[in-house]
Structure 1
Amino acid sequence: MTVVNQSTLDSYPVTLAFEQFSLQLERTKGTPGVPIFDMEGGCMLAASISRNWGAYGRFVWSINNPQAPQPCYSDSSDGGVGEQVESEVGLAGATYRLIMPRPIGMPQGTYKGSTQFTVGGDGDFAFGNNATNFNNAMLTVHLELDVRHDLYLRFPPGSERAVLEPPGGWQAYLGGRGVPPRLERDLPFRIWSTGPFKVYKRCEYDIGEHCGIRNASNHSVPVEVGLSLPGNVQHGGDAARRIQLTTGAVGAPVFEPQQLLANHPGQVHFQVGREAVGEMTRHAGTTYQGQVTVVFDAEL
């Protein structure tokens, strides 16, 4: 069957592989015992209870090959006596294994799907020759899967403050070599994740699509905020290298681990471009600052 994410509408195929069946039978006509042990076909007896000289029984049959099951049945004959036996089915049950994609590739959320099986005769669930009085000729199985991913980050102490500097420091600028090409700071972190996630930013000061830093005279310049993740994480099918973050969750870039992330390295990049640095040098002696919040979100 197909299950669909109720928020994102992503869909994935899943398979029910039935592994065991159980029945409760009670003889209503005839003297031979309820047939439990004389089995043929693609099953084996897993457990059974029999009482009243075999007039009542419960049993569990295991499917030998759940992915390619063969019919399972028992022989109700009794040494050639030929007496007709009738039994009532009081309870029926089944166990199954769910075969599904790796959850690491599935967006977080609730997935729903359903499928139907025919009951009786030569249907998907056939209870033998002359079985009658089914209360329904169709069995509908509904699945609801709740996918919740773990997402954990660890930044080193002091990461709450990013001091932006030219590549190699301020020595060249102080020595009269002109305006630095940029100001930058990379903050390293470690990441653990079991599934896809999106990342975006929130700004204390907004300057277009960028966050801003501002001095005491209210002069502002934009700061580009990017993200780099390990090689086994993709964005849009490519490596996640210096991906620019949006302001707010709308349209935020989505990152898809190709395998479990466990203590892998990443970096948040902050950068002020040459033109903005030139503006800042005309306000030498002032301090520019602003708050940027980077949000890692497993809710896609």
Structure 2
Amino acid sequence: MQDLVGLDDLDAYRAHDKLWWNGSWIEAPRPCTEGPYSKYTDFSWSFFWMTPVAGVCSNQALFDIPDIAYENMDFAYQLKTPDPLKMAPGTYRGPMVYSVGPGGDFDTGDIMRPSDGSLMLDFTLTVEHVLAVEIPPGGNQVQLIPQGGWQAWLQQHRKLTRLFRDQTFNLWASTPFKMQLSCAINVGNTCGLQDVAGNRVAVDVAVTLPAGMTSLGQAVNRQPLLLDGQGTEHFEPSLYVARKPGTLHFSVEKDGVRQMLKLGSERFSGSVTVIWDSQV
């Protein structure tokens, strides 16, 4: 944005429709476009041009303008960086040097000679990644029930074939992560539930991640969580995920339910730990 002052002889130019060979007071010459601020008075002109990445835009005056001066010049910029989601966390520093004057990066006209021919900008950029999980209150106590609940099973004499519970959680993620499973009781490659007599049945655990999280470029839907970590070694955000809901799926499938009914135990219990780990 520039404020151009010193147009004391502006009255001499009012006989002309325009001061410029081409262009106008308000419209920016192409390939520039108008910014949010542009005005003029009898003695000054303030304008803001949006400049392209490459190219030159300028207005050429019909007359010499006596005592012309730039009262001030401001600039704004849009910084283009690599995808921050793919950058390692840390502080990045570096300078950018621009030339000022005729033919330079900042060129305000052939007769406008700067006192300093270069402008150096020092940039300091900090990349901080986020990985956070929020479990709603009570979400760490998971009770497995049949479809429709226990009352429907008892009253309607439904055949019990599956016990399950879906537990939601909220996720913040700007970095890749892996998920792991840890069990108080191991049954094969997953966790187990146990009765007072020590009889064990397997409980399956799976995860559905919110939109924006992918595995090998695909959405993550009911991905099994296994003790060996297979299939959950690398989840990657395609965009910043900010407090989006995901789901942990817990279930005892048909064979396990049949075993539980055969044993006739009143209670099976166990401890399952789900780990979100950014060290991938």
Aligned to 1:298: 278
CA distance in 2, matches of 1:198, 1:148: 18
Partner amino acid for 1:288? F
| Offset of residue 255 of structure 1 | 1.4
1:104 corresponds to 2:88 = no
CA distance in 1, matches of 2:173, 2:138: 23
* TM-score normalised over the length of structure 1: 0.52
Aligned to 2:207: 227
Partner amino acid for 1:182? R
CA distance in 2, matches of 1:251, 1:229: 13
| Offset of residue 155 of structure 1 | 0.9
Q: Identify the match of residue 237 of structure 1 among 217, 226, 231.
A: 217
Between the two proteins, the alignment pairs up a number of residues equal to 175
Does the 8 Å CA contact 1:198/1:298 hold for their aligned counterparts?
yes
Q: Taking structure 1 as reference, are residues 146 and 216 closer, same or farther at Cα in structure 2, changes over 3 Å only?
A: farther
Q: Deviations over 1:141-191 (max 9, x none)?
A: xxxx99752111111111111000011112343247354221101111111
CA distance in 2, matches of 1:149, 1:249: 23
* TM-score normalised over the length of structure 2: 0.55
Partner amino acid for 1:261? V
CA distance in 2, matches of 1:202, 1:147: 31
1:261 corresponds to 2:236 = no
| Offset of residue 247 of structure 1 | 1.3
After superposition, the CA RMSD in angstroms is: 3.1
Q: Identify the match of residue 194 of structure 1 among 174, 177, 193.
A: 174
Identical residues among aligned pairs (%): 35
CA distance in 1, matches of 2:248, 2:81: 34
CA distance in 1, matches of 2:251, 2:153: 17
CA distance in 2, matches of 1:146, 1:287: 52
Aligned to 1:211: 191
| Offset of residue 253 of structure 1 | 3.2
Does the 8 Å CA contact 2:164/2:251 hold for their aligned counterparts?
yes
| Offset of residue 249 of structure 1 | 5.1
1:183 corresponds to 2:179 = no
CA distance in 1, matches of 2:255, 2:231: 27
Alignment of 1:107-186 (within 5 A): 149-175=129-155, 177=157, 179-186=159-166
Q: Deviations over 1:31-74 (max 9, x none)?
A: xxxxxxxxxxxxxxxxxxxxxxxxxxxxxxxxxx9x99xxxxxx
Unaligned runs of 5+ in 2: 1-50, 55-78, 91-124
Unaligned runs of 5+ in 1: 1-64, 69-97, 111-144
Q: Taking structure 1 as reference, are residues 244 and 146 closer, same or farther at Cα in structure 2, changes over 3 Å only?
A: farther
Does the 8 Å CA contact 1:109/1:299 hold for their aligned counterparts?
no
CA distance in 1, matches of 2:201, 2:268: 9
| Offset of residue 248 of structure 1 | 5.1
The structure with more strand, counted as a fraction of residues: 1
Runs (4+) of structure 1 exceeding 4 A deviation are 145-148, 248-251
